[in-house]
Structures are given as C-alpha cells and as structure tokens.
C-alpha cells in the first residue's frame, strides 16, 4: 500500500488522525516505530522527516538524534525519552507545548 505524502503545513495535514482515531493508522505507526528503533550508527545519511505530519505518533524512546525534522507537525506526538539531540527542529509545529508536559 502506498500513502500520499502531505506536507505538514497543508490544510489536510493530520486530518485523518483527528477525525478517525486518536493515533495514526497502524501501518503508518509501524513505519514510524521502525524508523525510531533503527540503529543510528548504520545511517548513511541524515534521517529526513522534514515537513511530515507526525501528529499523535508514538515516538517514545525514538532514535531521532541529528534527524532533519524542520517544519514537521508533532502535535500531540509522544516524545518521552526520544533522543532529539542535534536534530534540526526549526519550524517544528507544536513541539514546545508537548515537551512541557510531565
């Protein structure tokens, strides 16, 4: 199955997550989980998730160090213990409010 990519700033960005369920569809969450659990030492290039909609995604304990996340929508994403060290977070939407939660 192929999913069309919608930029984070598009009006439809995250719409499916808001209207159908509390979380991304199972296949999308599975892909996000694989990305987050990968061994960063094997990365050939920087992980590029710029302008993606990761709203409500479970990113707990994800390996996102040095990832390119500029312009991504992280509204209500679970980021507990996620490694964001060195990540490009320029223009990320809804990150500060979410990190401030206990």
Segments making up each domain of the chain, as ranges = 1-102
Whole-angstrom Cα distance, residue 9 to residue 13? 7
Tokens of 51: 């302008």
pTM of the complete model = 0.67
| pLDDT tens per residue across span 41-80 | 887 888 999 999 898 899 999 999 999 999 999 988 999 9
Higher pLDDT, 85 or 6: 85
Whole-angstrom Cα distance, residue 7 to residue 4? 10
| Rg (alpha carbons) of the chain, rounded to whole number | 13
pLDDT grade for 7, boundaries at 50, 70 and 90: low
CATH 3.40.50 fits 1-102, yes or no: no
Whole-angstrom Cα distance, residue 52 to residue 96? 17
Tokens of 23: 């979380």
Whole-angstrom Cα distance, residue 3 to residue 73? 17
């Amino acid at each position: 199955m192929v999913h069309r990519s919608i930029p984070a700033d598009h009006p439809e960005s995250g719409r499916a997550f808001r209207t159908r369920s509390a979380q991304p569809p199972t296949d999308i969450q599975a892909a996000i989980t694989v990305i987050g659990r990968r061994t960063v030492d094997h990365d050939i290039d920087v992980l590029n998730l710029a302008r993606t909609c990761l709203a409500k995604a479970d990113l707990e304990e994800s390996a996102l160090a040095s990832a390119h996340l500029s312009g991504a929508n992280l509204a209500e994403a679970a980021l507990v213990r996620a490694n964001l060290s060195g990540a490009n977070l320029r223009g990320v939407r809804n990150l500060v409010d979410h990190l401030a939660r206990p």
